[in-house]
Chain A
């Protein structure tokens, strides 16, 4: 019998987990700071186009979103696969845009109403016809400040 071997073998001591909460909290704070709340559930599939000259949208509270793209596969039986407009949490027709813009105005403070930016999140492969129609509606609604949403990247 070796001199160093102990019979029976002691149990290995349990790993102390007291630092685990600290690590998890650190992760938690990281995610709380770097992310923003998801506001709407997307019903349409959107691949944003890429651009190099993008600017960041500074004030989130002033931005209202219009989503355009082909419906997600689970909605295609009902809504078809052609690009559709999504406002807030539902599919919308072009005619509802005026009401939408008005509702967005009402939701803001009076002092901020003139500065609302409409962000167009449009799928890359959408035809311009629907986008042009939306732009015309926005002009009618006098929501002139728009932002074509795009990802930063790709040097052409």
Chain B
């Protein structure tokens, strides 16, 4: 009968594992990257920019942020907390007001002919050089929140599920009704030096 092999000492295995563990603790980070996604417009030469926009005033939702981080929405001073409600009103125009965007009827999958805003309706966000980035992101966030809320409401009403749980085709249909059109205009000085 062969002799039993002697058991080797496993005490230092823990030390080795600890060393590996500490190495990974030091060299890695835990943060997952998240943020607000945007597409910048194509670069146009400043000399070619047409100063008079061909879009009607009522189809633009103008949000200005000055260097003191205060908001001017459609000519009225507004608090950030009220921005979402105003954006939603602009995007739906529930009472067909004259100063809110025009609507057209368009054939959309799953919905049939639907009243949506004209393609030129756009949210225009302008900031000053002195605006703080934190405020800018909060404003961006409110605008996206308004659109996401509208999409969710519509999704629940039509399909009985929140927007994120729908399949790609249905999501596209809803996206067509409430597109995410936020224009970050050419930089301009607003409100003094």
Contacts and interface: CB of A to CB of B under 8 A. Distances in A.
B28 A37 contact: yes
A132 B24 CA distance: 37
Interface in B19-70: 20-21, 24-25, 27-30, 32-43
A126 B35 contact: no
B127 A51 contact: no
Contact of B127 (A25, A125, A128): A128
Interface in A68-115: none
B33 to A, nearest CB: 4
A145 B29 CA distance: 25
A147 B16 CA distance: 40
Contact of B21 (A31, A60, A120, A146): A31
B187 interface: yes
Nearest to B46: A136
B20 A49 contact: no
Interface of A: 17-18, 20-21, 24-25, 27-28, 31-32, 34-38, 49, 51-57, 60, 63, 117, 119-120, 122-129, 131-132, 135-136, 138-140, 142, 144-152, 156
User: For the side of the interface on B, what is the size category?
Assistant: 35 or more
Contacts of A132: 127, 129, 187
Contacts of B39: 144-146
Contact of A35 (B13, B30, B130, B141): B30
Contacts of B81: 156
Given A35-B28, A49-B133, A139-B43, A149 B35 contact: yes
Contact of B35 (A20, A52, A147): A147
Nearest to A69: B133
A148 B137 contact: yes
Contacts of B131: 127-128
Contact of A151 (B25, B34, B145): B34
B148 interface: yes
Nearest to A135: B40
A139 B148 contact: no
A71 B40 CA distance: 27
Contact of B141 (A31, A53, A140, A142): A53
Given A56-B33, A156-B81, A21 B17 contact: yes
A48 B74 CA distance: 29
B140 interface: yes
A98 B156 CA distance: 45
Nearest to B44: A139
Contact of B33 (A28, A128, A149): A149
Contact of A131 (B38, B136, B148): B136
A59 to B, nearest CB: 10
Given A49-B137, A146-B40, 5 more contacts: A21-B13, A24-B17, A37-B29, A147-B38, A156-B138
